């Protein structure tokens, strides 16, 4: 069974600090996809990034970076020089590429990490 653990339920940082959100996953599949989503106070989850299990290259997008390490089953998300607009709940998610149920490949979400950036 697939599982996603986000051990940090809430984090508070002061603006301009760097912050890392942890994500640890469990899966028996060798092919899978990992995702990060952002849920701002408005409520709508927004897709940030997808990474497949064969691509361990780290990714950087502006102030955001992602560190995927298969050896530790982790897919951590770092925000550099945090800003108030980064305040949100962040979800890590896992989708396996194995046999589907009906027309859908199940996605498992972590419980989310609430990030508060204090001005």
Q: What is the binding site for another protein (CB under 8 A)?
A: 9, 32-33, 35, 37, 42-47, 50, 52, 91, 95-97, 100-107, 109-112
Report the residue number, 41 or 119, with the smaller CB distance to another protein.
41
CB of 70 to another protein, least distance (A): 17
C-alpha 37/C-alpha 92 separation (Å) is: 6
User: How many other CB atoms are there within 10 angstroms of residue 91's CB atom?
Assistant: 21
C-alpha 49/C-alpha 36 separation (Å) is: 5
Are the beta carbons of 36 and 48 closer than 8 angstroms?
yes
CB of 41 to another protein, least distance (A): 11
Q: What angle do CA 83, 88, 89 make, to 5 degrees?
A: 140
Report the residue number, 52 or 58, with the smaller CB distance to another protein.
52
CB of 119 to another protein, least distance (A): 25
CB of 73 to another protein, least distance (A): 17
Report the residue number, 62 or 103, with the smaller CB distance to another protein.
103
């Amino acid at each position: 069974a697939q599982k996603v653990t986000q051990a940090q339920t809430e984090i508070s940082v002061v603006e301009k600090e760097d912050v890392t959100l942890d994500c640890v996953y469990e899966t028996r599949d060798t092919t899978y996809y990992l995702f990060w989503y952002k849920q701002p106070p408005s409520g709508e989850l927004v897709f940030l990034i997808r990474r497949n299990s064969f691509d361990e290259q780290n990714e950087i997008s502006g102030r955001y970076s992602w560190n995927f390490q298969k050896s530790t089953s982790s897919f951590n998300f770092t925000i550099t020089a945090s800003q108030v607009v980064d305040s949100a709940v962040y979800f890590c998610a896992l989708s396996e590429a194995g046999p589907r149920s009906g027309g859908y490949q199940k996605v498992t979400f972590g419980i989310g990490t609430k990030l508060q950036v204090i001005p």
